[in-house]
Amino acid sequence: MQSADNPLKVAVIGLTYDHAHGFLSQQRDRKDIQLVGIVEPNQEWAAYYINRYHLDPNILFSSFDALLSKTRVEAVTTFVGTFEHRRVVECVPPRGYM
C-alpha cells in the first residue's frame, strides 16, 4: 500500500480525453501518489493543462523515452484517443509498467 511517506510515482501518457481533467484535479489532494511526468507531444495542449492545474512545466515530456531518461516511474495512466491505445500498449508493458 502506498503512503504519504512512499507515494506511487505516476506518469500520464496523453491528454487527449477529458478524463485527464478528473485525474489531474483529484491527484493534487492525494498524498499516496506523486505525478512525476506527463507525456504530451502537442505543446499547446500540454501548456493548457500545465496552466489550468498549476503543474510544474518540468514534468512535461514529448515522449515516453524522454520521460524515462529523466524520471523514475512506477505506474502510468493514459488519456489518449482510441486509435493511440496500441502505441501505449506497445510502449509501456515491455518496460514493466502496468
Whole-Å CA distances, 65 to 6, 21, 24, 29, 37? 24, 24, 22, 28, 11
Query: What is the distance between the alpha carbons of residues 65 and 83, in angstroms, rounded to a whole number?
Result: 20
Listed range (37-46, 58-67, 85-94) with the worst mean pLDDT = 85-94
Task: Say if residue 3's pLDDT is above 70.
Answer: no
Question: How confident is the model at residue 92, as a pLDDT?
Answer: 66
Distance CA 28, CA 55 (A): 9
Task: List, in sequence order, every residue forming a beta bridge with 45; answer none if it has no partner.
Answer: none
Q: Give the domain ranges of the chain.
A: 12-95
User: Tens digit of pLDDT for each residue in 4-52?
Assistant: 688 999 999 999 888 898 999 998 888 999 999 999 999 998 999 999 9
- Residue 69 pLDDT grade (very low, low, confident, very high; cuts 50, 70, 90): confident
Going from the C-alpha of 85 to that of each of 27, 60, 82, 91, the distances in angstroms are 23, 20, 5, 10
CA 59 to chain centre: 9
